[in-house]
Amino acid sequence: MSNLTVVDVHTHMYPPQYIKMLESRTTIPLVRKFPQAPEPRLILLEAELGDLQNAVDDASAKPPGRPLTSHFASLDQKIHFMDTHHIDISVISLANPWLDFVDASQAGDIAESVNNEFSHMCGKHHGRLFFFGTLPLTAPFQTLLASISRLKDLKYCRGVILGTSGLGKRLDDPRLMPVFEALAAANLTVFLHPHYGMPNDVWGPRAGQYGHVLPLALGFPMETTIAVARMYLAGVFDQVRNLRMLLAHSGGTLPFLAGRIESCILHDGQLVREGKVGKGRRTIWHVLREQIYLDAVIYSEVGLTAAIDASGSDRLMFGTDHPFFPPITSDEQGQWESVSLNAEAVTKAVGQGSAEAKAIMGANAIGVLRLEEQA
């Protein structure tokens, strides 16, 4: 991949003040320190609560959550990671659970603080860092719209990161329409990222034997797929034609299931009776190729090829999902296999040094997210 500008559009950080807030909490999400662990642990999932109590009661028990290493909060560490993996530009964003849990009276101020901190980080590495802003979705509506207006004026901001809960009733909630309209008008791309996965009981009584594989490998992608399908069925993309969304994890299972979704729509008696399946209807394939972009965080040639076939190589963008999925048995300061898998998938799918590879690894992101403007 020499002579290519490599852009990482899916890379997270938790600013220090955000971590401090999580340390003060008594319910998930929270950060806890354990005498049996060298680093604090980030606990996000309900499935981890049982292990949390066990670790509190028994100092020999394995603590839950993820180790909160320097990769999560250190700007120097982010730049070191970029240099190690030959990444020229990163578009950083707050990782889940964003501000979904913050009290309405505090959400606006906290969002402004997080966004200003990211903006300051980008200013320290001019041209190498941009960011997706964080929205105060629990705040009063005018506060939320004011936050979008401020983000538009921050020179390193190129969009917002959004979870699937929206204002609490998912992304097909009609109350969100003015938010989508405001984001589209401000030319801010929505980076859609999952968090809640699927209900724990979906995985069955033996799920605890399988670590986090089921909720992460299956729950997160299905969450994204369901969210976008609901938006499509609700007509959000037709109503806000200039809305642009970048979907995490190559769109979940959307590239693979788009045809099945279309077939179910065409054969649904209720939708047919309501006149929603007439001629000229924009299919989900149209939306995938006109309003949606996919990151290339899929770890295999097979998955990436499906994403390219569904949306087009001109709509795929490389990502790492740093600082998640670190090496388990090797030095975290060196090469990460999770990153190599994504880069290798691009090479296998479109050929090393090809125009498509150049586009996916960086050129698409530079054009779509206007990264050349401050470089």
pLDDT band for 329, please (50, 70, 90 cuts).
confident
pLDDT value of residue 46: 77
Question: Is 59 inside a domain boundary?
Answer: no
pLDDT in tens, 34-45: 998 889 999 987
Residue 274's pLDDT is: 94
At residue 60, the pLDDT reads: 85
Question: What pLDDT sits at residue 298?
Answer: 97
Is residue 326 within 8 Å of 72, Cβ to Cβ?
A: no
Residue 268 backbone zone (phi > 0: left; psi -120 to 50: alpha; other: beta)? beta
What is the domain extent for residue 280? 7-14+73-369
Using the structure block, give the residue that is written with the tokens 């806000």: 240
Question: 281-293 pLDDT, tens per residue?
Answer: 999 999 999 999 9
Q: Domain total for the chain?
A: 1
pLDDT at 1 over 60: no
Query: Are 29 and 38 within 8 A, CB to CB?
Result: no
pLDDT of residue 50: 81
Query: Both tokens of residue 225?
Result: 């797929």
Identify any residues that bridge with 345 across adjacent strands, giving them in sequence order: none
Q: Is residue 36 part of a domain?
A: no
Question: Between 175 and 4, whose confidence is greater?
Answer: 175
Residue 196 — pLDDT band, cuts 50, 70, 90?
confident
Q: Which amino acid is at 339?
A: V
Q: Tell me: the pLDDT tens digits for 207-247?
A: 888 888 998 999 999 999 999 999 999 999 999 999 999 99
Neighbours of 273 (CB within 10 A): 9
What CATH number is given to the structural domain containing 78?
A: 3.20.20.140
The residue that leads in pLDDT, 23 or 373, is: 23
pLDDT of res. 54: 87
Asked if residue 332 belongs to a domain, the reply is: yes
Specify the DSSP class assigned to residue 361: I
Give CA–CA dist 65/52, Å, rounded. 8
Q: What does residue 290 show for φ and ψ, rounded to 5 degrees?
A: -125, -35
- Residues β-bridged to residue 191: 161, 246
User: For residues 219 and 236, what is the distance between their CA atoms, to the nearest angstrom?
Assistant: 24
Q: pLDDT confidence of 191, banded at 50, 70, 90? A: very high
Give me 37's structure tokens. Answer: 């662990």
Q: Looking at the domain assignment, is residue 50 inside a domain?
A: no
Tokens 């279309």 -> residue = 262
Give me the residues paired with residue 192 across strands. 162, 247
Q: What is the pLDDT of residues 47-83, one digit of tens each?
A: 788 888 888 888 888 898 888 999 999 999 999 999 9
Contact 157, 133 (CB under 8 A): yes
207 lies in some domain: yes
Strands (E), the chain: 7-13, 30-32, 41-43, 66-67, 89-94, 129-134, 157-162, 189-192, 245-247, 292-295, 316-317
Q: Say what the pLDDT of residue 15 is.
A: 92
| Residue 44 is assigned to a structural domain of this protein | no
Does residue 205 sit within a domain? yes
Does the residue 272 lie in any domain?
A: yes
